[in-house]
A and B are shown apart, each in its own frame.
Chain A
Amino acid sequence: GENVEQHPSTLSVQEGDSAVIKCTYSDSASNYFPWYKQELGKRPQLIIDIRSNVGEKKDQRIAVTLNKTAKHFSLHITETQPEDSAVYFCAARMDTGRRALTFGSGTRLQVQP
């Protein structure tokens, strides 16, 4: 089955700096890669996603890049703000077989004011 590894497990940045979280996946059949943000005590919320026919997607301060050859994808947050502090999860899904999401272990992002 699919395996997703996520790094780093914790990340601390100064307000205004950029943050990058990286994930690798094992199954080349995976073709959908969402990112979720989970604030303390709340449910995960989808913040951005990318499909395998696209190399990059951007939504305001958030962008995701995908390298299918290397089987990794990354979340980029620019001009970080204290409200970006949360746990971020990457995930991957295949289009055939078991099509449920496989999640990474999460990254706790702390933005220091």
Chain B
Amino acid sequence: DGGITQSPKYLFRKEGQNVTLSCEQNLNHDAMYWYRQDPGQGLRLIYYSQIVNDFQKGDIAEGYSVSREKKESFPLTVTSAQKNPTAFYLCASSLQMNYGYTFGSGTRLTVV
């Protein structure tokens, strides 16, 4: 849907567990991004990747990890070190860093 797919749509995690959110794009975009969306706080950057095998921390990287082994895929792992992981997570991609974004449909993570 729109060339960038996030799964699952809803995810429930027990405290102390790591979970991985999937993001796949078939747009042949070089750059990919992860944002976290909380009510009233807009979108905050977690990690971004300009190119395969390279990624950079954003503003709120603590408790998260990523990998970029393939151009099409940019999975996000929410580790047990993330103290308040309940949020809506959005993945995005762009042709290159100086182009506009295409967003995925998001994953809503809830800690139970």
Residues of chain B contacted by A6 (CB below 8 angstroms): 42
Size band of the B side of the interface?
A: 20 to 34
Please measure, in the bound complex, the distance between the C-alpha atom of A33 and the C-alpha atom of B100, giving whole angstroms: 10
Q: Which of A58-66, A76-84, A101-109 binds B?
A: A101-109
Min C-beta distance of A106 to chain B, whole Å: 5
Which residue on A lies nearest to B91, using beta carbons? A43
Min C-beta distance of A66 to chain B, whole Å: 16
Question: Contact between B40 and A9 (Cβ–Cβ < 8 Å)?
Answer: yes
Min C-beta distance of B35 to chain A, whole Å: 8
* A57 CB within 8 Å of chain B: no
Please measure, in the bound complex, the distance between the C-alpha atom of A16 and the C-alpha atom of B44, giving whole angstroms: 33
* B78 CB within 8 Å of chain A: no
Residues of chain B contacted by A42 (CB below 8 angstroms): 105
Question: Contact between B100 and A44 (Cβ–Cβ < 8 Å)?
Answer: no
Could you tell me the dominant secondary structure of chain B's interface residues?
Answer: loop
Residues of chain A contacted by B33 (CB below 8 angstroms): 100-101
Question: Contact between A43 and B105 (Cβ–Cβ < 8 Å)?
Answer: yes
Number of interface residues of A (CB under 8 A): 23
> Which residues of B line the A interface, CB within 8 A?
2, 33, 35, 40-45, 48, 50, 56, 58-59, 90, 97-98, 100-101, 103-106
> Which residues of A line the B interface, CB within 8 A?
1, 6, 9, 32, 34, 42-46, 49, 89, 93, 95, 98-106
Name 26 interchain pairs, CB-CB below 8 A, sorted by A: A32-B98, A34-B100, A34-B101, A42-B105, A43-B90, A43-B104, A44-B43, A44-B101, A44-B103, A45-B103, A89-B42, A89-B43, A93-B98, A95-B98, A98-B56, A99-B98, A100-B45, A100-B48, A101-B33, A101-B101, A102-B45, A103-B35, A103-B42, A103-B44, A105-B42, A106-B40
